[in-house]
Amino acid sequence: MNKVFFVEKLSSVPGIILLVCFGVIIAVGTAYVGVAFGGMLMAVVFALPVLYCIVFYPKFGIILLLSLAYMLATISSFVPIPVGTLMDGLQALLLLGLLIQIKFYGGGEIFKNQITTVLMIWIVYNVVEVANPSASSRLAWVYTIRTVATVGLTYYVYMYNVRTVKFIRTILILWIGFSIALALYAFKQEFIGFTASEEAYLHSDPAIAGLLFIAGHWRKFSFLSDPVVFAYNMVMPSILCICIIDGKFKRWLKIGAGALIVLFFVAALFSGTRGANVLLPAALLLFFIIRFNKKVLVFGLIAACFFVVLINIPTSNGNLQRFQTAFSPNNDDSYNVRKMNQKRIQPFILTHIMGGGLGATGTWGKRFSPGTLLANFPPDSGYIRVAVEDGWLGLLIFCTMMFVFIKTGINNYFRMQDPELKSYCLTMTLVVFTYNIANFPQEALVQFPSNIFFYLEVALINITYQLDQELTRKKELELTTKSAAL
């Protein structure tokens, strides 16, 4: 860069003229606008190369997207910018880069699979929802479609650009790295306390305290937006660690994975999220079914005994008590209220094939359709939200899509040969399955970083299988060549 850019290009008459022009612009801008002009100029100088790299070096864009998904809450607390719009723009640039790549380099045939088809059906259905005659607001659709279509389309970006085992390892290391940081910061919040800005947020609204202050104890959320999404993002990397322990990896890596499971499990308890407590046992159940053998059976019995003891052991620890209540939901008042709400909304779902339109419930419903039946309805479940906003037809498409994701993952796992890729495929299948369990008590697929990583995990189900097939064909070709040489 020094030789080409500074020496060869700028050490010339045109280069000197260019630098003088920049100097004049900075001087005049600072004189008339002030110091803010320098900041804006620096932002432009840095932004243009970053935008270029996102479009034409998509691996850089993917790493940036995954990293920002974890850092959004932290960034928004320091910089008053619309971080959601920032993420939308980043995803749009990645999609633009994908279209350019396909146009000039081809390779669109990798999208010919069941997951790609059913996901596109789901996205198109949500786009068609703009014409839903039962929708109270079209503007609510505009705000909501971003979280459905744009995020879902990133699947195609991952499918096209994650093409090596090395890059998969890089992504998994990034995932584990952020998860460790999340867990350690939660320990800091639990044993040292919140920062001044976090304290100000917790006491800024009585509704926040009502949700996060339970039985004299603050629920921890690390540096994410709320305790629920934090707890879910402790469970998912634990599944990766379980598959590493089960897979053919080095011993030190397995020992480290075991230690991380303990770290993530304890950190999740600090969140006070009961819905997250059943997720790891649910993931282990499918894991035992897929990986059934003598070693796994022994491990399963030990794990089952551990959870039985943990659920029934007498304790005065508030975090552990809240963990235990997750396994007796009928005794939980909040769960019973949710069941009543779901029963109350069933007649509407059954009589509206396309539902009430995207954004009809929750925050957007209260903002764009105040006073309506759905605006005041608390969905409290990803499935219920889909049923209410997309109708029973949308719920059918959504459930079919999730079934295809999990079925494809299981089928691919049993057809694969490479042990490392098999472990990764199994991890992603279990994570997708677990997110579906999590989507029943909460809206698990709409918040960062879960929504971004979910479609990455779906893509990796196919990517790992395709890479395994390439490795198998390469080995067969090598054997054929050796045989011919002999």
Q: Is 135 left (phi over 0), alpha (psi -120 to 50) or beta?
A: beta
Same domain (yes/no): 343, 327: yes
pLDDT at 482: 78
- Condensed to tens digits (0 to 9), the pLDDT of residues 252-286 reads 999 999 999 999 999 998 988 887 888 988 899 89
From residue 22, give the alpha-carbon distance in Å to each of 19, 36, 43, 134, 201: 5, 16, 15, 56, 42
End residue of a domain, out of 106, 124, 156: 106
The mean pLDDT value for 411-429 works out to 95
Same domain (yes/no): 119, 19: no
What is the token pair recorded at 277? 């407590």
Residue 119 located in a structural domain:
yes
CA gap 351, 353 in Å, rounded: 6
Q: Is 353 left (phi over 0), alpha (psi -120 to 50) or beta?
A: alpha
- Condensed to tens digits (0 to 9), the pLDDT of residues 325-352 reads 666 666 666 667 777 878 888 888 898 8
Q: Does the pLDDT of residue 2 top 70, yes or no?
A: no
Same domain (yes/no): 95, 208: no
Q: For the whole model, what pTM was predicted?
A: 0.87
Residue 42 located in a structural domain:
no
The mean pLDDT value for 237-264 works out to 94
- Condensed to tens digits (0 to 9), the pLDDT of residues 345-360 reads 888 889 889 988 888 8
pLDDT at 177: 96
Burial category of 309 from C-beta neighbours within 10 Å (exposed 0-12, middle 13-18, buried 19 and up): exposed
- Tell me whether the omega of the peptide bond preceding residue 281 falls within 30 degrees of 0, making it cis: no
* Lowest-pLDDT range of 30-34, 268-272, 456-460: 30-34
Expressed as residue numbers, the domain containing 3 is 1-33
- Condensed to tens digits (0 to 9), the pLDDT of residues 37-50 reads 776 777 777 777 88
The mean pLDDT value for 398-402 works out to 96
Same domain (yes/no): 312, 204: yes
Grade residue 145 by pLDDT with cuts at 50, 70 and 90: confident
Residue 345 located in a structural domain:
yes
Same domain (yes/no): 331, 480: yes
Same domain (yes/no): 182, 246: yes
Q: Does the pLDDT of residue 98 top 70, yes or no?
A: yes
Three-state DSSP class for 328? coil
Grade residue 183 by pLDDT with cuts at 50, 70 and 90: very high
pLDDT at 397: 95
Same domain (yes/no): 84, 176: no
The residue to which tokens 């919040």 are assigned: 189
CA gap 230, 179 in Å, rounded: 9
| Dihedral sign of CA atoms 449, 454, 456, 457 in order | positive
* Lowest-pLDDT range of 44-58, 344-358, 443-457: 44-58
Q: Does the pLDDT of residue 5 top 70, yes or no?
A: no
Three-state DSSP class for 104? helix
**Could you give the percent of the chain with pLDDT greater than 70?**
92
Report the candidate in 90, 438, 414 with the shortest Cα–Cα distance to residue 236: 438
**Strand stretches in 150-229, DSSP E:** 213-214, 217-218
Between 26 and 433, the more confident residue is 433
Burial category of 206 from C-beta neighbours within 10 Å (exposed 0-12, middle 13-18, buried 19 and up): exposed
Residue 28 located in a structural domain:
yes
Q: Does the pLDDT of residue 1 top 60, yes or no?
A: no
CB atoms within 10 A of CB 43: 10
Report the candidate in 346, 341, 360, 345 with the shortest Cα–Cα distance to residue 133: 360
The mean pLDDT value for 155-171 works out to 95
End residue of a domain, out of 106, 130, 153: 106
Q: Does the pLDDT of residue 195 top 60, yes or no?
A: yes
Same domain (yes/no): 128, 98: no
Residue 41 located in a structural domain:
no
CA gap 54, 61 in Å, rounded: 4
Same domain (yes/no): 332, 463: yes
pLDDT at 10: 67
Grade residue 168 by pLDDT with cuts at 50, 70 and 90: very high
Residue 399 located in a structural domain:
yes
Backbone angles phi, psi at 298, to 5 degrees: -65, -45
Same domain (yes/no): 13, 85: no
Report the domain count for the chain: 3
Q: Give first-to-last CA distance, the chain, whole Å.
A: 50
Same domain (yes/no): 177, 303: yes
Q: Does the pLDDT of residue 63 top 90, yes or no?
A: yes
Type of residue found at 413? Y
Same domain (yes/no): 28, 82: no
Mean pLDDT value across the chain: 86
Residue 185 located in a structural domain:
yes
Residue 329 located in a structural domain:
yes
Q: Does the pLDDT of residue 172 top 80, yes or no?
A: yes
